[in-house]
Amino acid sequence: MKTAFLYTERYFAYDYGASHPLKIERLRLTYELCRAYDLFSLPDTDLIETRPASESEILRFHTPEYVDVLKRAASGQISSDFSFGLGPGDNPVFPGLWEWSQLHAGASLQCSELVSDGKALIAFNIAGGLHHAGARHASGFCYINDPVLAIYHFADIGKRVLYLDIDAHHGDGVQWAFYEDPRVLTVSFHQDGRTLFPGTGGLSEMGRGEGLGYAVNIPMLPATDDYVFWEGFKSVVPVLMELFNPDVIVSQLGVDTFLDDPLTALELTTNGFCKAIAYLTEQGRPWVALGGGGYNPSNVARAWTLAWAIMNGLELPDDLPQSMVKSLSPRGQAQKLRDPAHQSPWQDKCRRRMQECLDYLETNVFPKIKTV
């Protein structure tokens, strides 16, 4: 099994701003932890330098007018344009935002190329997964929607794609891009949109036209823990895998679902996250794995390092490499690679909500998916 990890130091020429919750530095922390565990010297692993996406590649989804605004914003010609979602707050204008977007999108396209060409079974872009951007607007820290570009790479060559999003925020930009397209099955586990941005992802969002049934949403109550998440995951994803029989999986692996993430209210840990990664690895299908949310940098580095190890069939020791202890334990607390087990005090309520979701999907959504 060949795997590929996409990365470049050029990411760190760009910065959303000191007060912004999305810290690009978390990518370096992930890379350094993987390197400290010696995960880039495995015989069937490639560490590949990221290339920027070309303007023509980005125009496969985004509009020319929007691309022009991004380029002008990146060069300092405009400080905001709220008609395109740019300005103070979630989507600030900063020097090089176009170039940053080209890099993370280019890495996702590289992943798709490696997988479709048979050069890797699994390709991982930790900088990707910016799933909120629309064709002509920025949203939720996202300027270019790299998951959509990665999916189009496969759909354009006739492949059926299962897009699986486990970020705390609904994968709205990807869902809407393929809402009428039965070639792409979008599946999103997320905190209920009534309690969190972007406010979408309800059970009744099932697709439209030929795509009816090909959008699947599992809105989880705040305080949902590993047990409830996994109960939902194992009841939904294997069924969809069998019904839809995708040629390739594209996943968004956000870890803002974790207990101590500062922006969300779910209560997952590395334990539930790793079960999902292990399941996807065991499928043996071509897989493009993308990063996503996560606003506690230690959580990001530990979870994505665990994911990369699982993708490569490795069980890592729980003690952190000594060189990484200080950077992963900024407040001096004892830190392990994996989180301890956690049970939410609201588990019963969350389980009842999950069962309601599963009952709805079984009755209203699963029957609409054509088995191949």
What residues are annotated to the active site? 132
DSSP string for 295-364: SSHHHHHHHHHHHHHHHTT----SBPPHHHHHHH-TT----BSSPPP---TTHHHHHHHHHHHHHHHHHH
Instruction: Yes or no: say if 124 and 45 are a contact pair by the CB < 8 Å rule.
Output: no
User: At a CB cut-off of 8 Å and minimum separation 6, what does 203 contact?
Assistant: 217, 219, 357, 360, 361, 364
Amino acid at 263: L
- The DSSP 8-state label assigned to residue 39 in this structure reads T
Q: Cα Rg for the chain, rounded, in angstroms?
A: 19
Q: Which residue has the tokens 């209203």?
A: 364
* Residue count (the chain): 372
3-class state of residue 33 by DSSP: helix
Sign of the dihedral through C-alpha 357, 265, 135, 184:
negative
CB 101 within 8 A of CB 70: yes
Per the listing, tokens 């609201």 go with 346
Cβ neighbours of residue 229 closer than 8 Å, sequence gap 6 or more = 189, 220, 257, 266, 268, 272
| Distance from C-alpha of 370 to C-alpha of 372, rounded to nearest angstrom | 6
